[in-house]
Homo-oligomer: A and B are copies of this chain.
Amino acid sequence: MSQPNVSEVDVLIIGAGPAGLMAALWMSRCGIKTRVIDRREAHVRVGQADGIQSRSLELFDSFDIVDKIWKESCHMVEMSMWNPGDDGVLRRASRMSNTIPGISRFSQGVLLAQHRIEGVFLESLAEYSNVEVQRSIEPISITCNPSGAENQSAYPVKVIIAQIVTERSPYPIVNPASNGAAGFDGQRKNRKLNGIQEKPAPEETIAAKYVISCDGAHSWTRSQLGFQMEGEQSEYIWGVLDVIPITNFPDIRTRCAIHTASAGSIMLIPREDRLVRIYCQLSEVKPGSDGRFDRSSIKPDMILKAAQKIMSPYELEYKHCDWWTTYQIGQRVGTRFSAHDRIFLAGDAIHTHSPKAGQGMNVSMQDSYNLGWKLALVIKGIAKPSILETYESERRTVAKELIEFDQRFSRLWSKPPAKDSADEGGVLMKDFQHAFQKQRLFSSGFAVDYGPSILTAKDGIVHRRETTNGAGCGPKTQDSEFQMKSQQHLATNLPLGQRFPSFRVINHCDARSWHFGKLLKADGLFHIVLFAGDVSKTEQMQRIYGFTDALTNMATPLVQYSINNSGSQKTRCHVADVLTIHSAPRQQVEYLDFPELLRPFDEELGWDYDRIFVDEESYYEGHGNAYEGYGIDKVRGCVVIVRPDQHVAWIGGLEDVDSLETYFANFLAASSKR
């Protein structure tokens, strides 16, 4: 083996699936030097995940990439339940909206093939950075020197990589015309791959400050780190077909739950381009004595036959099959999500479960959405490395909730309908329907509620362990405690720890109506949202001046609009920006009445006219009733800190600037302070 090359990088991302690319998007927006490697030779263009939650659409919007996905995708608006009637014949039992109306500006979840979503991510990466995915690259070893973990100029993680050189592609891209004859599933593919390095490959050592590993359910990184997955495998085996169905089943274009007395269940998911994904229980396939089943025994026509039996008396055929697979339901969650807060696992590498709730890709992307900005702030020297602890504390809770949810939810799918309430082997259809209604909040991604931490000022004590480099005598560990404090009662509908919801507001200057959430872009900045109240009242406007004066005079220079007058807006504030929503009649206040901090000036570009908004009736799009929606007093207002990932971090009054400063001071690096 030749002497390996060594190259340094801030962040190495292993795996270019949705979780890995979401992390890369953060790095591209925050200007972090990043490499992405993937063992797959090509961008796989069929199959895999397809469901996109409303919350994920909001994340896409924060990176300004939602429009294409929204347009191309299939919008899944409705959910139907089909059960046997008293005569044993299948009939539609109920219909409901697939998500909770009003919960997001992206009302419905949508469906689009994973590769199309990845495609949009890749286009955006190319537009904002020079980050490219290097394919056919496999990591060979990974080591981390924990003693340097607090030293931000060190590159403590060493990853040796090798190019995979094979005689022939191990990834037969399914030709749609072949009707899935060359079908395979993602899991088998990954396993196959581990064995094939038929030729010696050139090697390179990457020295990284941080590694984010999104290398899937059979994560190489996880196994190298020796982390375990906890959980269990069920006896239920399901098949999946992506086909263009030819059928007289009337609800083929809505999400359907079809239960039969003894033939098993189906979930139908309508897709783009007339495709439908059929999740079909294979009741006749049972796992062997080792708890596993023989995957090779199953072919698409077996799945079709099982589906035909379940959907009878309706007919089901297809001429075009895009992809198919089989899986055994199981739920597992990783014991640990990071090593030394230098190597992080995300996505399927730390949670696996059944695909039917459409959670996998979403929760995976949200993992790295949670992690990306934290890493970027630490790498840029803005935040202390201790904020990285919150990745595991926040996301492991979500992963465990997901696993519990999936256990309950998939059991409801795999059992037959109960004959009566005494039938314990079955599922009462009213319980199923109730569970479905309940799951909509979880499935849309809005149930996530981060606990108190250094980044979320929920009332309570937060413990933190900080490691510093002692002078020549190794790292020192120091424990500290914070008394976190917020005034939740000032914004009763903005629960701390949850994502900041969106209501329509009006731009004060040009009267255009905006969904406020659309303005919270993923650029790594905290957003200080000033609910300025009724500024037509002199006393209230004085409070606003008091607030901006205090903010300007803080020891921590959060909001630095005038650091560099010739620079672009983006580089001028490095920790937080301020957005204002007032509730005075727009006619009674002029833009220039507000303090300059709220409407920064640039010598070339003049005033920034996109920072002050009004909660008022719009000309064309009704009244957003934002103050009411957020639960905030229309006269006195309040101040809310929103994290770069849009979760509510702190709430206080206009006079609580000390507490606001404390919130930031707790985690800002010393170099950020005056």
The residues of A with any CB-CB pair to B shorter than 8 Å are: 67, 71, 74-78, 95, 97, 101-102, 107-108, 244-248, 250-254, 270, 274, 319-320, 507, 509-513, 587, 590-592, 603-606, 609, 618-621
Contact B591 A250 (CB under 8 A): yes
Contact B619 A101 (CB under 8 A): yes
Contact B78 A619 (CB under 8 A): yes
Contact B621 A107 (CB under 8 A): yes
Contact B254 A606 (CB under 8 A): no
Contact A603 B75 (CB under 8 A): no
Return 5 A-B CB contacts under 8 Å, by A number.
A77-B510, A107-B621, A108-B619, A245-B606, A253-B507
Contact A78 B246 (CB under 8 A): no
Say which residue of B76, B247, B587 sits within 8 Å of A606 (CB atoms).
B247
Contact B510 A244 (CB under 8 A): no
User: Which of A74, A108, A606 has the largest number of chain B CB atoms within 10 A?
Assistant: A606
Distance between Cα atoms of A77 and B508 in the complex (Å): 12
Q: Which residue of B lies closest to A102 (CB)?
A: B620
Q: Which residue of B lies closest to A106 (CB)?
A: B620
Contact A604 B319 (CB under 8 A): yes
Say which residue of B78, B274, B319, B509 sits within 8 Å of A511 (CB atoms).
B78
* Interfacial chain B residues near A76, Cβ < 8 Å: 510
Distance between Cα atoms of A67 and B69 in the complex (Å): 12
Say which residue of B77, B102, B510, B618 sits within 8 Å of A512 (CB atoms).
B77
User: Which of A71, A76, A253, A320 has the largest number of chain B CB atoms within 10 A?
Assistant: A253
Q: A247-B606, A319-B603 are contacts. A512–B620 as well, Cβ < 8 Å?
A: no
* Interfacial chain B residues near A95, Cβ < 8 Å: 587
Contact B244 A75 (CB under 8 A): no
* Interfacial chain B residues near A587, Cβ < 8 Å: 95
Contact B606 A78 (CB under 8 A): no
Contact A512 B75 (CB under 8 A): yes
Q: Which residue of B lies closest to A104 (CB)?
A: B620
Contact A253 B510 (CB under 8 A): yes
Q: How many copies of this protein are present in the complex?
A: 2
Distance between Cα atoms of A566 and B246 in the complex (Å): 15
Contact B274 A605 (CB under 8 A): yes
Distance between Cα atoms of A76 and B510 in the complex (Å): 7
Contact B78 A250 (CB under 8 A): no
* Interfacial chain B residues near A609, Cβ < 8 Å: 252-253, 274
* Interfacial chain B residues near A78, Cβ < 8 Å: 510-511, 619
Distance between Cα atoms of A509 and B95 in the complex (Å): 12
Q: How far is the CB of A444 from chain B (nearest CB, A)?
A: 12
Distance between Cα atoms of A424 and B248 in the complex (Å): 74
Q: Which residue of B lies closest to A101 (CB)?
A: B620
Q: Which 9 A-B pairs have the closest CB atoms?
A: A107-B620, A97-B619, A253-B510, A78-B511, A253-B509, A246-B606, A77-B511, A250-B590, A253-B609
User: Which of A78, A97, A101, A107 has the largest number of chain B CB atoms within 10 A?
Assistant: A78
Distance between Cα atoms of A250 and B609 in the complex (Å): 10
* Interfacial chain B residues near A67, Cβ < 8 Å: 67, 71
Q: How far is the CB of A31 from chain B (nearest CB, A)?
A: 22
Distance between Cα atoms of A270 and B252 in the complex (Å): 48
Q: Which residue of B lies closest to A273 (CB)?
A: B605
Q: Which residue of B lies closest to A245 (CB)?
A: B606
Contact B75 A510 (CB under 8 A): yes
Known: A67-B67, A246-B606, A250-B590; 20 extra A-B contacts, CB below 8 A, are A67-B71, A74-B510, A77-B510, A77-B513, A77-B618, A77-B620, A95-B587, A101-B619, A107-B621, A108-B512, A108-B619, A246-B603, A247-B606, A250-B592, A251-B509, A252-B509, A252-B609, A253-B510, A254-B509, A254-B511
Q: Which residue of B lies closest to A270 (CB)?
A: B510
Contact A606 B510 (CB under 8 A): no
* Interfacial chain B residues near A250, Cβ < 8 Å: 509, 590-592
Distance between Cα atoms of A210 and B609 in the complex (Å): 49
Q: Which residue of B lies closest to A513 (CB)?
A: B77
Q: Which residue of B lies closest to A506 (CB)?
A: B77
Distance between Cα atoms of A102 and B511 in the complex (Å): 16
Distance between Cα atoms of A6 and B97 in the complex (Å): 62
Contact B244 A605 (CB under 8 A): yes
User: Which of A75, A245, A270, A618 has the largest number of chain B CB atoms within 10 A?
Assistant: A75
Contact A97 B620 (CB under 8 A): yes
